[in-house]
Amino acid sequence: MFVFSSPVNGNPEIHFVGTDGELHGFATPRQLLADGYDPALIVTVPNLGGLKVGAPAGTALTAMATRADGTIVDSSGTFFTFAGGTAFGIPTPEELERIQRANVAAVLTGAVTPAETSAAVASGVLLSVSPTVYVTHDPGAYPFRAIAQLDSTGYGGTAAVPTPHIGGLSVIFPYS
């Protein structure tokens, strides 16, 4: 998860919440993109909530290393995008183009494992599978019928992760 806030030295900063529970800041927006993070997934917060600011983000904390939502990976010529801890295979160049129109982060190179492609998708992730937005919740994916429904259920302003499919989750109707 990313957070955008300005309590550190009074300057606006973008941080990544690491698996160590600490915030890791980016030196520039360019670094955020080059490290493979999707800027659409940044959440603005009023304060850091007591989280400790750790080491700056960098080569050890790229989106590939953290498997962050929105990471796009070229794994030996096969492309994947991560959402909710799962690597979603991107089946065609056209699908890759569609995802990249919504996600401007750099494509990273690395190995995606079978465990990552078969991992359970975390609950509460918004997936954008054109033209539908879904929210994941064990055991499935719940489609939103309209943008207004996103707002009325508290998801308004939350960016969805563009994915080529729903990762084998069952589509569950109705979602009210």
Which stretches of 29-171 are assigned E, i.e. beta strand?
A: 42-44, 72-75, 78-83, 86-90, 108-109, 126-129, 132-137, 140-143, 161-162, 170-171
pLDDT at residue number 2: 55
Give the tens place of pLDDT for each residue, 68-123.
Answer: 899 999 999 999 999 999 999 999 999 999 999 999 989 999 999 999 999 999 99
Same domain, 93 and 109: yes
Q: Output the six-digit token pair for 92.
A: 């065609």
pLDDT at residue number 159: 86
Same domain, 99 and 130: no
Give the strands of the sheet with 42-44, arranged side by side.
23-25, 13-17, 2-5, 42-44
Which has more confidence, 163 or 34? 163
pLDDT at residue number 48: 77
Same domain, 60 and 91: no
ω before 39 within 30° of 0 (cis)?
no
Residue 103 lies in domain: 67-118
Which has more confidence, 17 or 168? 168
Same domain, 130 and 164: yes
Mean pLDDT of the chain: 86
Most distant pair of Cα atoms in the chain: their distance? 48
176 in a domain, yes or no?
no
Average pLDDT over residues 122-135: 92
Question: Taking the model in full, what pTM does it have?
Answer: 0.85
Same domain, 57 and 73: no
Same domain, 133 and 149: yes
Same domain, 58 and 8: yes
Q: How far apart are CA 112 and CA 117, in angstroms?
A: 8
Q: Answer whether residue 156 shows pLDDT above 70.
A: yes
pLDDT at residue number 173: 85
Q: How many domains does the chain have?
A: 3
Q: Output the six-digit token pair for 28.
A: 């520039």
Give the rounded percent of residues in the chain with a pLDDT score beyond 90: 45
- Cα-based distances in Å from 43 to 37, 55, 138: 13, 20, 24
Q: Using CA of residue 89, residue 94, residue 97, residue 103, what is the dihedral sign?
A: negative
The residue type at 42: I
Which has more confidence, 88 or 18? 88
Q: Answer whether residue 17 shows pLDDT above 90.
A: no
